[in-house]
Amino acid sequence: MISERIKTLERECALRGEKERLNPRSHFEKDYHTAGLTLYAGLPQWEKAAKARAYAMANQEALVDENDRLGGRVYIFEVPCETTDPDLNYWEAADKAFREKYPDADEMIKNQLIGGINRGHITWFFDRILTLGLTGFRARYEEALLHAKDEEAEQFYQGVLIMLDAVQAFNDKHIEAYEKIGNTRLAEMMKKVPRYPAESFEEAVQSFFMQHICVMKDSPFGGNGPGRLDYYLWPYLERDLKAGRCTLEQAKEIIDELFLRMDERVHASDSWVEAVMVGGTYPNGASAVNPLTYIMIESIIDLDITHPSVYVRLPENPPEDLLKLCARYMMAGKNRAQVLSDPSIINALVKNGVFYRDAVEYACGGCMEVGIQGMTSDFLWQGFQNPLKMLELMITGGICLRTSKQIPCFKATKGLEAYQDFESFYQDYLKEAERFTRIYMEEQDIGSRIDQKYRPSYLISSMIDDCLERGRNMHAGGARYHDYGMSQIALPNIADALYAIKKAVFEDKFCTAGELTAAMKADFKGFEMLQAKLRKLPKYGINDEEVDALAARVVSDFADMLLRYRTRWGGKGKPVIMTYVFSPVAAAIMGATADGRNSGMGIAHGLTPYSGSMIDGVTSAINSCAKLPYEKIPGGASTMWDFDSSWATEEIVEALFMTYFKGGGQIFQGNTTPIEDLLKARENPEEYPNLIVRVGGFSARFVSLPEELQEDIINRIRHSA
What pLDDT score does 456 carry?
96
| SS3 per residue for 216-274 | HHHCCCECECCEEHHHHHHHHHHHHHHHCCCCHHHHHHHHHHHHHHHHHHCCCCCCCCC
Closest CA to 267 of 275, 256, 259: 259
Report residues of the chain scoring pLDDT below 50: none
Q: Give this prediction's pTM.
A: 0.97
H or E stretch including 720? none
Closest CA to 572 of 379, 297, 338, 307: 379
What residue type is assigned to position 467 of the chain?
Answer: C
Q: DSSP string spanning 560-594?
A: HHHHT-B-TTS-BEEE-B--TTHHHHHHTT----T
Radius of gyration of the chain measured on its C-alpha atoms: 26
CA–CA separation, 430 vs 438, rounded Å?
Answer: 12
16 contacts: CB under 8 Å, gap ≥ 6: 264, 267
- 443 by DSSP, 3-state: which? helix
What pLDDT score does 680 carry?
95
CA–CA separation, 28 vs 74, rounded Å?
Answer: 10
| SS3 per residue for 13-28 | HHHHHHHHHHCCCECH
Tell me the β-bridge partners of 227: 276
CA–CA separation, 681 vs 673, rounded Å?
Answer: 11
Counting beta carbons within 10 angstroms of the beta carbon of residue 61, is it exposed (0 to 12), middle (13 to 18) or buried (19 or more)?
middle
- Cα 637 to the chain's mean position, in Å? 12
Strands 370-372 and 362-364: antiparallel
Q: Are 148 and 157 in contact (CB under 8 A)?
A: yes
Q: DSSP string spanning 159-202?
A: HHHHHHHHHHHHHHHHHHHHHHHT-HHHHHHHHHTTTS---SHH
Longest dimension (CA), the chain: 82
What residue type is assigned to position 261 of the chain?
Answer: R
The backbone torsions φ and ψ at residue 471, rounded to the nearest 5 degrees and listed phi first, read 70, 35
- What's the angle, vertex CA 639, arms to CA 633 and CA 645, rounded to 5? 165
Q: DSSP string spanning 362-378?
A: EEESSSS-EEETTTB-S
- 512 by DSSP, 3-state: which? coil
352 contacts: CB under 8 Å, gap ≥ 6: 563, 572, 574, 632, 634
Q: Are 255 and 300 in contact (CB under 8 A)?
A: no
Residue-wise pLDDT tens digits, 165-189: 999 999 999 999 999 999 999 999 9
Q: Are 532 and 610 in contact (CB under 8 A)?
A: no
What residue type is assigned to position 213 of the chain?
Answer: I
Rounded-to-5 percentages of helix, strand, coil across the chain: 55, 10, 40
What pLDDT score does 721 carry?
79
CA–CA separation, 336 vs 296, rounded Å?
Answer: 13
